[in-house]
Amino acid sequence: MEGVVKKFMFVNRKAPYGTIYALESLEVVLISAAFDQDVSLAFLDDGVYQLKKGQQTKGIETKNFSPTYRALDGYDIEKLYVEREALEARGLAEEDLLVDVTVLSRQEMGALMEQMDVVLSF
Amino acid sequence: MLHIINKSASDRNCLDACLAVAAEGGAILLIEDAVYAATRGNAAAAKLQQAQGRLKVYILQADLEARGMADRLIEGVTPVDYGGFVDLAASNTCQSWL
Amino acid sequence: MKFGILVNEGPYQHQAADSAYLFCKAALDRGHEIHRVFFYHDGVNNSSRLTEPPQDDRNIVKRWSQLAEAHQIDLVVCVAAALRRGIKDENLAPGFRISGLGQLVETGIEADRLVTFGD
């Protein structure tokens, strides 16, 4: 296994807080950094809400994990892809997001997925 | 790539999301509640038929039978058993649209 | 071929645990190897030996244990998800072990395919 580098993609399609999936996805992403793999994060559909600026979770007594997305580059995880159509359908633009991302069309996203070895969906 | 869908298309958007993104030449496998989409008269059936030019569509026969829908399968969708599911997964990278 | 399996849903509530089990059985019948089954989120509830389904229902937990014993399959329960839900070593069914998320990433690397079952 030593030296094996696979292309991992974490596909995030769910909004944060309503369910635990967004948080759990981040947990696996952070663990994967320790394995020196080629890691990409894709945000599709409601998953784009995970990256919305200005999340304040005091009122729901839940940890605000959104700052973690900004810390990812410290773990050499720099490939964050966001579906353009998903942003548009939700009234969001790139400047509403709390971290630098690459915006891709659905078609480009599909082509990128085809290059992956392991896809984990949340 | 093998796209695995397990949600009813009348309840959740997983099938739509998959069809929007899936690259040409891939395969879709409908399992669990997703099987209803490939039955005659279902609102999602037309979308599947449109996609058949660029994607191969499979359905897990056991899930179709369990739901009393085996006699309503639309044309162009290939039924597979669990062994067929394994074969599809063996020859493609898998993505489950949860 | 080596398959890694990820189970994200608990037994009985959702079909995912049944689908995952039937997939594993079919893969073994085809001569493939199951590298590991990783239980995550509510999927960790597949591992509780305190489970007591009605007599006329399938015993999902026992089924996993028997499959693991017959084919030496590594059944790994995510530690953080398990502790959140009261799953500990003392109520773990035979064949399961509790470990970290690194085991999921590792099976992604070591198995030829990762197949996910969930909600």
Residues 10-49 of A with CB under 8 A from B: 11, 13, 44-45
Q: Does A32 fall in a domain?
A: yes
Report the CATH number at residue C20. 3.40.1260.10
Q: Does A82 fall in a domain?
A: yes
- Distance of alpha carbon B22 from alpha carbon A76, whole angstroms: 28
- Name the residue of chain C whose CA is nearest to B32's CA: C15
Asked if C89 and C108 count as a contact pair (C-beta separation under 8 A), the reply is no
Q: Does A1 fall in a domain?
A: no
- Distance of alpha carbon A21 from alpha carbon C116, whole angstroms: 14
Q: Does A13 fall in a domain?
A: yes
Question: Is C105's CB within 8 Å of A32's CB?
Answer: yes
Domain that holds residue A79: 7-121
pLDDT at A1 over 70: no
Side-chain-side CA neighbours of residue C82 (13 Å)? 23
Question: Is B82's CB within 8 Å of C26's CB?
Answer: yes
With CA atoms as reference, report the closest residue to C61 among C74, C73, C44, C78. C44
- For the segment C56-90, what is each residue's pLDDT rounded down to a tens digit? 999 999 999 999 999 999 999 999 999 999 999 99
Q: Does A36 fall in a domain?
A: yes
Report the CATH number at residue A19. 3.40.1260.10
Question: Is B97's CB within 8 Å of A13's CB?
Answer: yes
- Write down the pLDDT at residue B69: 98
Q: Does C97 fall in a domain?
A: yes
CB contacts, 8 Å: C40 with chain A: 24
Q: How distant, in Å, are the alpha carbons of A17, C46, C92, C98 from that of C79?
A: 21, 13, 12, 5
Q: Does C117 fall in a domain?
A: no
Mean pLDDT score, A90-112: 98
Q: Exposure of A55 by Cβ count < 10 A (0-12 exposed, 13-18 middle, 19+ buried)? A: middle
- Catalogue all structural domains in chain B, each as residue range(s) with its CATH number: 2-96 (3.40.1260.10)
Number of structural domains found in chain A = 1
- For the segment A8-41, what is each residue's pLDDT rounded down to a tens digit? 999 999 999 999 999 999 999 999 999 999 999 9
Domain that holds residue C97: 2-47+58-112
- Distance of alpha carbon B89 from alpha carbon B93, whole angstroms: 7
Side-chain-side CA neighbours of residue B37 (13 Å)? 32
Number of structural domains found in chain C = 1
- For the segment A42-74, what is each residue's pLDDT rounded down to a tens digit? 999 999 999 999 999 999 999 999 999 999 999
CB contacts, 8 Å: C117 with chain B: 6, 96
* Partner residue opposite C115 with nearest CB, options B83, B89, B98: B89
C78 is catalytic: yes
Average pLDDT, chain A: 96
Mean pLDDT score, C76-105: 98
- Distance of alpha carbon C43 from alpha carbon C3, whole angstroms: 18
**CA of A85 vs chain C CAs: smallest distance (Å):** 24
Q: Does A2 fall in a domain?
A: no
Q: Does C53 fall in a domain?
A: no
Average pLDDT, chain C: 98
**pLDDT tens-digit profile, chain B (98 residues):** 999 999 999 999 999 999 999 999 999 999 999 999 999 999 999 999 999 999 999 999 999 999 999 999 999 999 999 999 999 999 999 999 99
- Write down the pLDDT at residue A3: 81
- Name the residue of chain A whose CA is nearest to B95's CA: A119
Strands A79-83 and A102-104: parallel
Strands B56-60 and B27-30: parallel
- Name the residue of chain A whose CA is nearest to C113's CA: A118
Asked if A101 and A81 count as a contact pair (C-beta separation under 8 A), the reply is yes
